[in-house]
Protein backbone atom coordinates (compact mmCIF):
# COMPACT_ATOMS: atom_id res chain seq x y z
CA UNK A 1 0.00 0.00 0.00
CA UNK A 2 1.15 3.55 -0.70
CA UNK A 3 1.28 6.60 1.55
CA UNK A 4 -1.32 9.31 0.89
CA UNK A 5 -1.87 12.83 2.19
CA UNK A 6 -4.48 15.49 1.45
CA UNK A 7 -4.26 18.83 3.22
CA UNK A 8 -5.08 22.51 3.11
CA UNK A 9 -1.55 23.77 2.47
CA UNK A 10 1.36 22.46 0.41
CA UNK A 11 3.86 22.90 3.25
CA UNK A 12 1.59 21.18 5.78
CA UNK A 13 1.57 18.31 3.27
CA UNK A 14 5.35 18.40 2.76
CA UNK A 15 5.97 18.19 6.52
CA UNK A 16 3.73 15.12 6.79
CA UNK A 17 5.53 13.58 3.80
CA UNK A 18 8.92 14.24 5.40
CA UNK A 19 7.92 12.34 8.53
CA UNK A 20 6.53 9.39 6.56
CA UNK A 21 9.74 9.18 4.51
CA UNK A 22 11.67 9.16 7.80
CA UNK A 23 9.78 5.94 8.69
CA UNK A 24 7.29 7.63 10.98
CA UNK A 25 3.70 6.45 10.97
CA UNK A 26 0.56 8.40 10.06
CA UNK A 27 0.15 9.64 13.63
CA UNK A 28 3.72 10.94 13.84
CA UNK A 29 3.13 12.72 10.53
CA UNK A 30 -0.14 14.20 11.83
CA UNK A 31 1.53 15.62 14.95
CA UNK A 32 4.27 17.27 12.89
CA UNK A 33 1.76 18.52 10.32
CA UNK A 34 -0.55 20.01 12.94
CA UNK A 35 2.37 21.86 14.52
CA UNK A 36 3.37 23.10 11.06
CA UNK A 37 -0.16 24.47 10.58
CA UNK A 38 0.56 26.94 13.38
CA UNK A 39 2.63 28.88 10.82
CA UNK A 40 1.35 27.62 7.45
CA UNK A 41 -2.31 28.20 8.42
CA UNK A 42 -2.19 30.62 11.38
CA UNK A 43 -5.81 31.74 10.94
CA UNK A 44 -6.99 28.17 11.51
CA UNK A 45 -4.52 26.46 13.84
CA UNK A 46 -2.61 27.50 16.92
CA UNK A 47 -1.49 26.37 20.35
CA UNK A 48 -4.47 28.51 21.39
CA UNK A 49 -6.83 26.43 19.23
CA UNK A 50 -8.53 23.06 19.29
CA UNK A 51 -9.72 20.16 17.15
CA UNK A 52 -11.15 16.72 16.55
CA UNK A 53 -9.42 13.68 15.08
CA UNK A 54 -10.41 10.21 13.97
CA UNK A 55 -7.54 7.74 14.33
CA UNK A 56 -7.50 4.24 12.85
CA UNK A 57 -4.51 2.00 13.51
CA UNK A 58 -4.22 -0.77 10.94
CA UNK A 59 -6.58 -3.68 11.68
CA UNK A 60 -8.16 -1.82 14.60
CA UNK A 61 -11.36 0.15 15.07
CA UNK A 62 -11.68 3.91 14.62
CA UNK A 63 -11.14 6.03 17.75
CA UNK A 64 -12.36 9.57 18.29
CA UNK A 65 -10.06 12.19 19.85
CA UNK A 66 -11.89 15.25 21.16
CA UNK A 67 -9.47 18.05 22.00
CA UNK A 68 -12.01 20.80 21.46
CA UNK A 69 -12.41 23.88 23.65
CA UNK A 70 -13.79 23.73 27.19
CA UNK A 71 -15.74 26.60 28.76
CA UNK A 72 -14.18 28.23 31.85
CA UNK A 73 -15.05 26.89 35.30
CA UNK A 74 -16.07 30.21 36.81
CA UNK A 75 -18.15 33.09 35.45
CA UNK A 76 -17.39 36.37 37.11
CA UNK A 77 -19.16 38.78 34.73
CA UNK A 78 -17.63 41.96 36.11
CA UNK A 79 -15.65 44.18 33.69
CA UNK A 80 -15.26 41.70 30.87
CA UNK A 81 -13.11 42.29 27.79
CA UNK A 82 -15.65 41.29 25.14
CA UNK A 83 -16.62 43.40 22.16
CA UNK A 84 -17.62 43.12 18.49
CA UNK A 85 -15.47 43.61 15.42
CA UNK A 86 -16.79 43.81 11.88
CA UNK A 87 -15.17 41.64 9.22
CA UNK A 88 -15.81 42.81 5.66
CA UNK A 89 -16.35 39.85 3.33
CA UNK A 90 -16.71 42.13 0.31
CA UNK A 91 -20.14 43.66 0.10
CA UNK A 92 -21.25 42.15 3.41
CA UNK A 93 -19.86 42.67 6.90
CA UNK A 94 -20.21 40.06 9.65
CA UNK A 95 -19.91 40.71 13.37
CA UNK A 96 -17.63 38.60 15.55
CA UNK A 97 -16.87 39.03 19.23
CA UNK A 98 -13.30 39.12 20.50
CA UNK A 99 -11.37 40.05 23.63
CA UNK A 100 -10.05 37.97 26.50
CA UNK A 101 -13.58 37.02 27.56
CA UNK A 102 -14.18 35.37 24.18
CA UNK A 103 -11.48 32.73 24.83
CA UNK A 104 -12.18 29.17 25.95
CA UNK A 105 -9.62 26.62 27.17
CA UNK A 106 -7.54 25.48 24.15
CA UNK A 107 -6.95 21.79 23.45
CA UNK A 108 -4.50 21.49 20.54
CA UNK A 109 -1.36 20.86 22.60
CA UNK A 110 -3.13 18.27 24.75
CA UNK A 111 -4.45 16.60 21.59
CA UNK A 112 -0.97 16.30 20.11
CA UNK A 113 0.41 14.65 23.21
CA UNK A 114 -2.58 12.30 23.55
CA UNK A 115 -2.05 11.05 20.00
CA UNK A 116 1.66 10.67 20.61
CA UNK A 117 1.15 8.74 23.85
CA UNK A 118 -1.14 6.25 22.11
CA UNK A 119 0.48 5.86 18.70
CA UNK A 120 3.66 7.89 18.33
CA UNK A 121 6.82 6.14 17.20
CA UNK A 122 9.16 9.14 16.84
CA UNK A 123 10.06 11.36 19.84
CA UNK A 124 8.23 14.68 20.14
CA UNK A 125 11.64 16.37 20.20
CA UNK A 126 12.08 15.28 16.58
CA UNK A 127 8.48 15.86 15.45
CA UNK A 128 8.66 19.55 16.42
CA UNK A 129 11.73 20.19 14.28
CA UNK A 130 10.02 20.83 10.90
CA UNK A 131 7.72 23.43 12.49
CA UNK A 132 10.63 25.05 14.32
CA UNK A 133 12.52 25.36 11.04
CA UNK A 134 9.48 26.88 9.34
CA UNK A 135 9.00 29.36 12.18
CA UNK A 136 12.61 30.51 11.94
CA UNK A 137 13.00 30.56 8.15
CA UNK A 138 9.45 31.65 7.35
CA UNK A 139 6.64 30.58 5.07
CA UNK A 140 5.71 32.46 1.89
CA UNK A 141 2.08 33.55 2.13
CA UNK A 142 -0.05 31.93 -0.55
CA UNK A 143 -3.26 33.40 -1.97
CA UNK A 144 -5.64 31.61 0.40
CA UNK A 145 -3.72 32.37 3.60
CA UNK A 146 -3.23 35.97 2.46
CA UNK A 147 -6.98 36.26 1.88
CA UNK A 148 -7.71 34.95 5.37
CA UNK A 149 -5.19 37.07 7.22
CA UNK A 150 -6.24 40.23 5.39
CA UNK A 151 -9.88 39.44 6.10
CA UNK A 152 -9.12 39.17 9.81
CA UNK A 153 -6.84 42.23 10.00
CA UNK A 154 -9.20 44.02 12.43
CA UNK A 155 -8.38 41.25 14.91
CA UNK A 156 -4.66 40.97 14.15
CA UNK A 157 -4.18 44.68 14.79
CA UNK A 158 -5.49 44.40 18.37
CA UNK A 159 -2.24 43.08 19.89
CA UNK A 160 0.78 45.33 19.20
CA UNK A 161 3.18 42.64 20.43
CA UNK A 162 2.95 40.82 17.07
CA UNK A 163 3.10 43.87 14.80
CA UNK A 164 6.55 42.87 13.56
CA UNK A 165 5.28 39.36 12.76
CA UNK A 166 2.11 40.04 10.80
CA UNK A 167 2.84 43.51 9.38
CA UNK A 168 5.37 44.71 6.82
CA UNK A 169 6.05 48.41 6.30
CA UNK A 170 2.97 49.23 8.32
CA UNK A 171 0.61 47.00 6.30
CA UNK A 172 -0.74 43.53 6.99
CA UNK A 173 1.34 40.94 5.12
CA UNK A 174 0.24 40.00 1.61
CA UNK A 175 0.59 37.10 -0.81
CA UNK A 176 4.28 36.57 -1.54
CA UNK A 177 5.47 38.04 1.78
CA UNK A 178 7.37 35.79 4.17
CA UNK A 179 5.77 35.07 7.54
CA UNK A 180 8.24 34.24 10.32
CA UNK A 181 7.37 33.33 13.92
CA UNK A 182 10.54 33.35 16.05
CA UNK A 183 8.46 33.17 19.21
CA UNK A 184 6.79 30.00 17.99
CA UNK A 185 10.20 28.37 17.47
CA UNK A 186 11.13 29.09 21.09
CA UNK A 187 7.73 27.85 22.27
CA UNK A 188 8.10 24.53 20.46
CA UNK A 189 11.59 24.05 21.90
CA UNK A 190 10.04 24.57 25.33
CA UNK A 191 7.16 22.15 24.65
CA UNK A 192 9.53 19.47 23.36
CA UNK A 193 11.34 19.56 26.71
CA UNK A 194 8.52 20.25 29.15
CA UNK A 195 5.71 18.38 27.42
CA UNK A 196 2.04 19.25 27.76
CA UNK A 197 2.51 19.98 31.48
CA UNK A 198 4.67 22.91 30.45
CA UNK A 199 1.60 24.34 28.71
CA UNK A 200 -1.27 23.38 31.03
CA UNK A 201 0.50 23.34 34.41
CA UNK A 202 3.53 25.56 33.83
CA UNK A 203 4.51 29.04 32.75
CA UNK A 204 2.27 29.20 29.66
CA UNK A 205 -0.94 28.59 31.62
CA UNK A 206 0.27 30.87 34.40
CA UNK A 207 0.87 33.72 31.96
CA UNK A 208 -2.46 33.31 30.12
CA UNK A 209 -4.39 33.04 33.39
CA UNK A 210 -2.70 36.10 34.84
CA UNK A 211 -3.39 38.16 31.72
CA UNK A 212 -6.95 36.87 31.57
CA UNK A 213 -7.61 37.90 35.15
CA UNK A 214 -6.09 41.37 34.76
CA UNK A 215 -7.52 42.05 31.29
CA UNK A 216 -11.11 40.92 31.72
CA UNK A 217 -11.15 37.27 30.71
CA UNK A 218 -12.59 34.16 32.34
CA UNK A 219 -9.63 31.76 32.10
CA UNK A 220 -7.80 30.78 35.28
CA UNK A 221 -5.08 28.29 36.25
CA UNK A 222 -7.60 25.62 37.23
CA UNK A 223 -9.14 25.74 33.73
CA UNK A 224 -5.85 24.65 32.22
CA UNK A 225 -4.94 22.19 34.96
CA UNK A 226 -8.30 20.41 34.63
CA UNK A 227 -8.35 20.19 30.83
CA UNK A 228 -8.56 16.63 29.47
CA UNK A 229 -8.63 15.11 25.99
CA UNK A 230 -11.67 12.89 25.60
CA UNK A 231 -10.95 9.65 23.75
CA UNK A 232 -13.73 7.27 22.84
CA UNK A 233 -15.80 5.56 20.18
CA UNK A 234 -16.57 7.21 16.89
CA UNK A 235 -20.24 7.63 16.02
CA UNK A 236 -20.77 4.84 13.49
CA UNK A 237 -23.66 4.37 11.05
CA UNK A 238 -24.39 1.80 8.32
CA UNK A 239 -24.32 3.03 4.71
CA UNK A 240 -24.54 0.95 1.51
CA UNK A 241 -22.89 -2.12 3.05
CA UNK A 242 -20.23 0.12 4.55
CA UNK A 243 -19.70 1.81 7.88
CA UNK A 244 -19.30 5.58 8.15
CA UNK A 245 -17.32 6.67 11.22
CA UNK A 246 -17.94 10.20 12.46
CA UNK A 247 -17.02 12.31 15.48
CA UNK A 248 -19.31 11.71 18.43
CA UNK A 249 -20.59 14.47 20.68
CA UNK A 250 -19.56 17.27 21.17
CA UNK A 251 -19.63 17.34 17.37
CA UNK A 252 -23.05 17.92 15.89
CA UNK A 253 -21.56 17.49 12.44
CA UNK A 254 -21.66 13.70 12.58
CA UNK A 255 -25.36 13.78 13.43
CA UNK A 256 -26.05 16.25 10.63
CA UNK A 257 -24.32 14.10 8.01
CA UNK A 258 -26.02 10.93 9.27
CA UNK A 259 -29.46 12.53 9.03
CA UNK A 260 -28.72 13.99 5.59
CA UNK A 261 -27.62 10.63 4.15
CA UNK A 262 -30.62 8.85 5.69
CA UNK A 263 -32.98 11.43 4.19
CA UNK A 264 -31.56 10.56 0.78
CA UNK A 265 -31.39 6.80 1.25
CA UNK A 266 -34.40 5.95 3.42
CA UNK A 267 -36.74 8.78 2.52
CA UNK A 268 -35.74 9.30 -1.11
CA UNK A 269 -35.20 13.02 -0.67
CA UNK A 270 -33.34 14.99 -3.32
CA UNK A 271 -29.88 16.10 -2.20
CA UNK A 272 -30.64 19.78 -1.44
CA UNK A 273 -33.90 18.92 0.34
CA UNK A 274 -32.08 16.31 2.43
CA UNK A 275 -29.63 19.00 3.53
CA UNK A 276 -32.55 21.22 4.54
CA UNK A 277 -34.15 18.45 6.57
CA UNK A 278 -30.88 17.70 8.35
CA UNK A 279 -30.38 21.36 9.20
CA UNK A 280 -33.88 21.56 10.65
CA UNK A 281 -33.49 18.36 12.67
CA UNK A 282 -30.24 19.34 14.35
CA UNK A 283 -31.43 22.86 15.19
CA UNK A 284 -32.94 21.65 18.48
CA UNK A 285 -30.21 19.84 20.34
CA UNK A 286 -32.55 18.04 22.73
CA UNK A 287 -34.23 16.34 19.75
CA UNK A 288 -31.13 15.22 17.81
CA UNK A 289 -30.85 11.85 19.57
CA UNK A 290 -34.55 11.15 18.95
CA UNK A 291 -34.15 11.81 15.22
CA UNK A 292 -31.08 9.58 15.08
CA UNK A 293 -32.84 6.79 16.97
CA UNK A 294 -35.65 6.84 14.41
CA UNK A 295 -33.19 6.54 11.54
CA UNK A 296 -30.46 4.41 13.14
CA UNK A 297 -31.80 2.23 15.99
CA UNK A 298 -29.27 1.38 18.71
CA UNK A 299 -26.81 4.05 17.55
CA UNK A 300 -24.02 5.16 19.91
CA UNK A 301 -24.32 8.94 19.49
CA UNK A 302 -23.92 11.02 22.66
CA UNK A 303 -24.39 14.76 23.05
CA UNK A 304 -24.50 16.93 26.16
CA UNK A 305 -26.20 20.36 26.07
CA UNK A 306 -23.72 23.12 25.34
CA UNK A 307 -22.90 26.19 23.28
CA UNK A 308 -22.21 25.59 19.58
CA UNK A 309 -19.29 27.19 17.80
CA UNK A 310 -19.22 27.51 13.99
CA UNK A 311 -15.82 28.88 13.16
CA UNK A 312 -13.06 28.97 10.57
CA UNK A 313 -11.42 25.57 10.20
CA UNK A 314 -8.88 23.53 8.26
CA UNK A 315 -8.40 19.80 7.77
CA UNK A 316 -5.88 17.17 6.68
CA UNK A 317 -5.80 13.38 6.18
CA UNK A 318 -2.86 10.98 6.28
CA UNK A 319 -2.71 7.26 5.42
CA UNK A 320 0.64 5.49 5.72
CA UNK A 321 1.87 2.49 3.79
CA UNK A 322 1.06 0.16 6.70
CA UNK A 323 -2.60 1.20 6.64
CA UNK A 324 -2.67 3.52 9.67
CA UNK A 325 -4.88 6.56 9.09
CA UNK A 326 -5.88 9.84 10.69
CA UNK A 327 -8.29 12.63 9.81
CA UNK A 328 -7.77 15.84 11.80
CA UNK A 329 -9.78 19.08 11.77
CA UNK A 330 -8.66 22.17 13.70
CA UNK A 331 -9.78 25.71 14.43
CA UNK A 332 -9.05 28.85 16.45
CA UNK A 333 -12.27 30.57 15.38
CA UNK A 334 -11.25 34.00 14.23
CA UNK A 335 -8.94 34.47 17.23
CA UNK A 336 -9.68 36.71 20.21
CA UNK A 337 -6.97 39.32 19.51
CA UNK A 338 -4.70 38.12 22.34
CA UNK A 339 -1.43 36.43 21.38
CA UNK A 340 0.13 34.16 23.97
CA UNK A 341 3.23 36.14 25.04
CA UNK A 342 6.46 34.93 23.50
CA UNK A 343 4.79 32.42 21.16
CA UNK A 344 3.40 34.51 18.23
CA UNK A 345 0.26 32.34 18.49
CA UNK A 346 -3.25 33.62 19.04
CA UNK A 347 -5.82 32.40 21.56
CA UNK A 348 -9.22 31.31 20.25
CA UNK A 349 -12.50 33.26 20.46
CA UNK A 350 -14.82 30.27 20.78
CA UNK A 351 -17.10 32.05 23.27
CA UNK A 352 -17.64 34.89 20.82
CA UNK A 353 -20.70 33.72 18.85
CA UNK A 354 -23.42 35.30 20.93
CA UNK A 355 -26.02 34.87 18.18
CA UNK A 356 -25.92 31.17 19.11
CA UNK A 357 -26.80 31.97 22.73
CA UNK A 358 -30.56 32.52 23.14
CA UNK A 359 -30.02 34.11 26.55
CA UNK A 360 -27.33 36.52 25.38
CA UNK A 361 -23.58 36.92 25.83
CA UNK A 362 -21.91 34.77 28.49
CA UNK A 363 -24.95 32.54 28.97
CA UNK A 364 -22.84 29.43 28.29
CA UNK A 365 -22.66 26.64 30.86
CA UNK A 366 -19.40 26.60 32.86
CA UNK A 367 -16.90 23.76 32.59
CA UNK A 368 -18.45 22.04 29.57
CA UNK A 369 -17.27 21.06 26.11
CA UNK A 370 -18.36 23.37 23.33
CA UNK A 371 -20.20 21.87 20.37
CA UNK A 372 -18.85 22.07 16.84
CA UNK A 373 -19.78 21.16 13.28
CA UNK A 374 -16.26 19.89 12.55
CA UNK A 375 -16.62 16.40 11.06
CA UNK A 376 -13.49 14.36 10.31
CA UNK A 377 -14.83 11.26 8.54
CA UNK A 378 -13.82 7.70 7.71
CA UNK A 379 -15.56 4.94 5.76
CA UNK A 380 -14.70 1.26 6.19
CA UNK A 381 -16.13 -1.93 4.77
CA UNK A 382 -17.91 -4.41 7.04
CA UNK A 383 -14.54 -6.03 7.87
CA UNK A 384 -13.18 -2.71 9.16
CA UNK A 385 -10.92 -2.18 6.12
CA UNK A 386 -10.42 1.50 5.40
CA UNK A 387 -11.87 2.95 2.19
CA UNK A 388 -12.32 6.72 2.65
CA UNK A 389 -10.73 9.40 4.83
CA UNK A 390 -11.92 12.98 4.57
CA UNK A 391 -12.87 16.24 6.16
CA UNK A 392 -13.40 19.91 5.45
CA UNK A 393 -13.26 23.46 6.64
CA UNK A 394 -16.31 25.64 6.25
CA UNK A 395 -18.05 26.19 9.60
CA UNK A 396 -21.70 25.08 9.54
CA UNK A 397 -21.34 23.77 5.95
CA UNK A 398 -18.77 21.13 6.91
CA UNK A 399 -20.85 17.94 7.36
CA UNK A 400 -23.02 18.67 4.34
CA UNK A 401 -20.02 19.30 2.09
CA UNK A 402 -18.39 16.00 3.13
CA UNK A 403 -21.72 14.18 2.95
CA UNK A 404 -22.24 15.35 -0.62
CA UNK A 405 -18.83 13.97 -1.61
CA UNK A 406 -19.62 10.62 0.04
CA UNK A 407 -23.00 10.55 -1.74
CA UNK A 408 -21.34 11.18 -5.11
CA UNK A 409 -18.70 8.48 -4.50
CA UNK A 410 -20.88 5.72 -3.07
CA UNK A 411 -24.37 6.40 -4.43
CA UNK A 412 -23.37 7.75 -7.85
CA UNK A 413 -20.08 5.80 -8.30
CA UNK A 414 -18.04 8.87 -9.19
CA UNK A 415 -14.27 9.00 -9.01
CA UNK A 416 -12.99 11.00 -6.05
CA UNK A 417 -11.86 13.98 -8.11
CA UNK A 418 -15.23 14.17 -9.85
CA UNK A 419 -17.08 13.80 -6.55
CA UNK A 420 -15.16 16.71 -5.02
CA UNK A 421 -15.60 18.82 -8.14
CA UNK A 422 -19.39 18.36 -8.18
CA UNK A 423 -21.22 21.63 -7.42
CA UNK A 424 -22.67 21.82 -3.92
CA UNK A 425 -25.75 22.98 -2.06
CA UNK A 426 -26.30 24.38 1.39
CA UNK A 427 -29.36 25.49 3.33
CA UNK A 428 -29.28 28.03 6.12
CA UNK A 429 -31.54 30.73 7.54
CA UNK A 430 -34.38 29.79 5.18
CA UNK A 431 -32.29 30.13 2.03
CA UNK A 432 -30.73 27.57 -0.32
CA UNK A 433 -27.20 28.41 -1.44
CA UNK A 434 -26.57 26.86 -4.88
CA UNK A 435 -23.02 26.69 -6.21
CA UNK A 436 -22.21 27.52 -9.82
CA UNK A 437 -23.40 24.90 -12.33
CA UNK A 438 -25.48 23.01 -9.76
CA UNK A 439 -28.78 21.81 -11.16
CA UNK A 440 -31.62 23.72 -9.50
CA UNK A 441 -35.20 22.51 -10.02
CA UNK A 442 -36.90 24.43 -7.21
CA UNK A 443 -37.63 27.91 -8.52
CA UNK A 444 -40.41 28.26 -5.94
CA UNK A 445 -37.94 27.92 -3.01
CA UNK A 446 -35.86 30.88 -1.74
CA UNK A 447 -32.41 30.47 -3.22
CA UNK A 448 -29.18 32.26 -4.01
CA UNK A 449 -27.63 31.00 -7.27
CA UNK A 450 -23.86 31.57 -7.20
CA UNK A 451 -21.98 32.46 -10.38
CA UNK A 452 -18.72 30.97 -9.08
CA UNK A 453 -17.21 28.22 -7.00
CA UNK A 454 -16.34 29.46 -3.56
CA UNK A 455 -14.66 28.74 -0.25
CA UNK A 456 -18.13 29.12 1.29
CA UNK A 457 -18.94 25.56 0.15
CA UNK A 458 -16.05 24.01 2.09
CA UNK A 459 -12.83 22.32 1.12
CA UNK A 460 -13.28 18.56 1.23
CA UNK A 461 -9.75 17.14 1.28
CA UNK A 462 -10.00 13.36 0.91
CA UNK A 463 -8.31 10.00 0.35
CA UNK A 464 -10.06 7.03 -1.32
CA UNK A 465 -8.69 3.47 -1.08
CA UNK A 466 -9.80 0.66 -3.39
CA UNK A 467 -7.68 -2.39 -2.72
CA UNK A 468 -4.13 -1.44 -3.61
CA UNK A 469 -5.24 1.67 -5.51
CA UNK A 470 -5.00 4.87 -3.46
CA UNK A 471 -6.33 8.23 -4.67
CA UNK A 472 -5.94 11.55 -2.83
CA UNK A 473 -7.42 14.94 -3.66
CA UNK A 474 -7.30 18.36 -2.03
CA UNK A 475 -10.33 20.53 -2.73
CA UNK A 476 -9.44 23.40 -5.09
CA UNK A 477 -12.06 25.61 -3.43
CA UNK A 478 -9.66 26.01 -0.50
CA UNK A 479 -6.37 25.52 -2.33
CA UNK A 480 -6.09 21.91 -1.13
CA UNK A 481 -3.06 19.79 -1.99
CA UNK A 482 -2.60 16.02 -2.19
CA UNK A 483 -0.01 13.37 -2.91
CA UNK A 484 0.24 9.58 -3.20
CA UNK A 485 3.72 8.07 -2.99
Query: What are the residue numbers of the active site?
Result: 313
Which of 327, 375, 374, 372 lies closest to 350, judged by CA? 372
CB atoms within 10 A of CB 59: 12
Cβ pair 219, 74 in contact under 8 A: no
Cβ pair 320, 16 in contact under 8 A: no
**Greatest distance between any 2 Cα atoms in the chain:** 62
Residue 308 phi, psi dihedral angles, 5° rounding: -95, 150
Which of 469, 475, 391 lies closest to 4, judged by CA? 469
The whole-angstrom separation of Cα 270 and Cα 273 is: 5
Buried/exposed 207-240: b ≥16 CB within 10 Å, e otherwise = ebbebbeeebbbbbbebbeebebbbeebbbbebe
Integer angstrom CA distances of residue 431 from 108, 272, 280, 310, 399: 34, 11, 12, 18, 18
The whole-angstrom separation of Cα 108 and Cα 38 is: 10
Amino acid sequence: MKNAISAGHEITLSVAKEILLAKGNAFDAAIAAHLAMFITEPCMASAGGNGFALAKPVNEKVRFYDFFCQTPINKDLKDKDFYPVLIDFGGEAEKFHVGMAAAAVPGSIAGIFALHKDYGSIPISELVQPAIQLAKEGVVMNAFQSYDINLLEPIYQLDPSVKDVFYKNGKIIQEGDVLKMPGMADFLDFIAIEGERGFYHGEIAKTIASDSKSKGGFLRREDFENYKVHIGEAFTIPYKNKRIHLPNGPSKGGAAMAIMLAEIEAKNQALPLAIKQAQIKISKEDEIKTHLNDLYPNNNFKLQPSLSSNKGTSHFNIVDNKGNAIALTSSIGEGCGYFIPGTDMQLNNMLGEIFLLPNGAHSWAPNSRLHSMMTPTMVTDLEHQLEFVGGSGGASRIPYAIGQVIHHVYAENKHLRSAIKEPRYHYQDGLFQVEKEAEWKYSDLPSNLWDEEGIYFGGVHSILINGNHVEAKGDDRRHGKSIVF
